Amino acid sequence: MLNCELGMGKTFDIGLERLTGGSGFSIGTSLSTENVGVEASAGELGTLRGASRGTFFLETFGCQMNDHDSEKVAGVLLSRGYRQVESPESASLILYNTCSIREKAAQKVFSRLGEFRVKQNEGRIIGVLGCVAQQEGEGIFARAPWVSLVCGSASYSKLPELLAQVEAGNQRVTGLDNDTDETFETEMTRRDNPWRAYLTIIEGCDKACSYCVVPYTRGPERSRASDSILREVRQLAELGYSEVQLLGQTVNSYKDPTARKMRFSELLLAVADEPGIRRVRFTTSHPSEFTQDIVNAIDAQPKLCNHVHMPVQSGSTKVLRAMQRTYTREEYLVRIAMIRGAKRAISITTDIIVGFPGETDEDLAETLGLLDAVQYDGVFAFKYSPRPHTPSLAMSDAVPEEEKSRRLALLQEKQREIQSKKNSSMAGETFEVLVSGKSRRENQWSGHTSCHRVINFASQEAALLGKYVQVRVTGATANGLAGERAE
Ligand code: SAM
Ligand code: SF4
């Protein structure tokens, strides 16, 4: 989701420093990890050239769920006596938390690993975590024998044990069981952002989209207990976090495993009710489970942000069927109408894949027509990438790479026009903004509106980071808004 050109996310931050702080430590709610004998083992790592013993470097690829998994992995390591460092050269333990959603993302990891052959490893421990780990399994040891830990996200709850094995000198440690009913809860999470906290409420995926590797790499759907989620939100609020973002591959499939049986919309309202919480976001919503009660909750509680990310993938029912997406174009449009029927305007973003096997010009025209019909606030568009372990791999009628690029460009051009118009129509409006970035240029700041637009604005005031301020829109492009402080 992060390599798109037109979504309402990272691309708006151009020219502005993003605050990744590194200050946010927060304590989780479950003690599912074993920490016996920990510090001793971290300290026992060998002497390394240029690296201090017991230090780790962690690089993350891919989606917000991976970002948040890494925050939890960092928490596990910190609680074992490790210290986080900024470069692989100064680390005794190097971890890559990987993404395999598209081929390019998966390739990046092997190019990172390739750098170590040259450096001959120098005694460092190297581990591959996440989706590529699950997808490639022990094959990673064959391709990169200097790797000693391969662990998929479904095995993260076993990470302390696996790390203990690596620290004891075991050269081939794996956590590859992806048929689990466990969620990854940590004693401590090291959060990157000091104001907005990610919180995974549902892991894995039970859908079977024919192009998608996630059910294979992340295992079956498992929801976290509502009382555990709410306890963590309370602690986050006490630590000063004011915005929480609930995460899940299909976040609205949430099924409370406790006797309370809280519905997803009830959970949203309960999270918003926690004192100190000012904004609640959630992503990604699956169209098939997007129900009226979610819209009603947003209408009833202004702390629930007026933004829904609901991937459509294609505007053609024929392609949706081949993708095994569980809804038709018409059914998707009914969901859109439901969201548009809310009392306050809710911005809608989506994901689209172009060049799926068998997609014709007519199918693409239906997708372009859908953009006109829905008027999305942002689109994350991708060229179809064949993935291992997926049913679409065996499909005929592949679309040539050049043609995929042409279709992607057409779609992006159309969406750019839509976004330019939408954003321009906001001139003069005033939004509440959570300030999260400061430019190198003097008096320039940036932040997000509730509808998840990034807005860059000027203000003479000092120390705005983390504050909520009113900003009036003075200008717009396809990718974002510019404004000034309003009282
Ligand atoms: N669970 C979400 C849903 O159902 O919409 C999506 C999660 S997936 C990590 C993020 C996006 O990656 C998908 O919405 C899809 O657009 C894209 N994607 C997944 N598999 C892909 C593939 N094989 N080729 C290209 N894009 C892909
Ligand atoms: Fe992948 Fe489909 Fe599950 Fe989303 S719903 S993670 S696209 S299988």
The CA angle 248-254-258, to the nearest 5 degrees, is: 125
Q: Is the CB of 214 under 6 A from ligand 1?
A: yes
Shortest-distance Cα residue to atom 4 of ligand 1: 286
- Whole-prediction pTM: 0.90
- Locate the ligand 2 atom nearest the alpha carbon of residue 215 and give its number: 8
Going by their DSSP bridges, the two strands 16-18 and 430-439 should be labelled as antiparallel
The predicted pLDDT at position 179 comes to 85
**Other CB atoms within 10 A of residue 484 CB:** 13
What would the DSSP string read from start to end of 114-181? HHHHHHT-TT-EEEEEEHHHHHHTTHHHHH-TT--EEE-GGGGGGHHHHHHHHHTT-S-EEE------
Q: Is the CB of 214 under 6 A from ligand 2?
A: yes
Kindly state the helix (H) or strand (E) to which residue 202 belongs, with its residue range.
strand 202-203
First to last CA, the chain: 35
Q: Which ligand sits nearest to residue 284's alpha carbon?
A: 1
- Locate the ligand 1 atom nearest the alpha carbon of residue 65 and give its number: 9
The predicted pLDDT at position 49 comes to 54
pLDDT, the chain, mean:
88
CA distance 73 to 188: 9
* Banded pLDDT at 25 (limits 50, 70, 90): very low
The predicted pLDDT at position 121 comes to 65
- The pLDDT tens digits for 260-281 are 999 999 999 999 999 999 999 9
CA distance 456 to 470: 12
The predicted pLDDT at position 69 comes to 95
Mean pLDDT of 337-352: 98
332 phi and psi angles, rounded to 5 deg: -60, -45
- The pLDDT tens digits for 189-230 are 989 889 999 999 999 999 999 999 999 999 999 999 999 999
Structure tokens at 36: 């016996």
- The pLDDT tens digits for 370-409 are 999 999 999 999 999 999 999 999 999 999 999 999 999 9
CA distance 294 to 304: 10
What distance lies between CA 263 and its chain's CA centroid?
22
Q: Is the CB of 62 under 6 A from ligand 1?
A: no
Mean pLDDT lowest for which of 8-22, 329-343, 348-362, 363-377?
8-22
- 353 C-alpha to center of ligand 1: Å? 8
Q: Is the CB of 250 under 6 A from ligand 2?
A: yes
The predicted pLDDT at position 439 comes to 86
- Give percent above pLDDT 90 in the chain: 77
The predicted pLDDT at position 24 comes to 45
Mean pLDDT lowest for which of 47-61, 141-155, 186-200, 406-420?
47-61
Q: Is the CB of 290 under 6 A from ligand 1?
A: no
Q: Is the CB of 242 under 6 A from ligand 1?
A: no
Q: Is the CB of 314 under 6 A from ligand 2?
A: no
The predicted pLDDT at position 34 comes to 26
* Per-residue b or e along 191-226, where b marks 16 or more CB atoms closer than 10 Å to that residue's CB: bbbbbbbbbbbbbbbebebbbbbbbbbbbebbbbbb
CB–CB of 397/444 below 8 Å?
no
CB–CB of 445/457 below 8 Å?
yes
Mean pLDDT of 316-323: 98
- Locate the ligand 1 atom nearest the alpha carbon of residue 383 and give its number: 25
Query: In this structure, what DSSP letter does residue 328 have?
Result: -
User: Residues 337, 338, 343, 345: is their CA dihedral positive or negative?
Assistant: negative
Query: CA separation (Å) from 231 to 192, 226, 266?
Result: 20, 9, 15
* Per-residue b or e along 438-462, where b marks 16 or more CB atoms closer than 10 Å to that residue's CB: beeeeebbbbbbbbbbbbbbbeeee
Q: Is the CB of 217 under 6 A from ligand 1?
A: no
Shortest-distance Cα residue to atom 19 of ligand 1: 212
Pocket residue to mutate for ligand 2, from 178, 250, 321, most atoms within 8 A of Cβ: 250
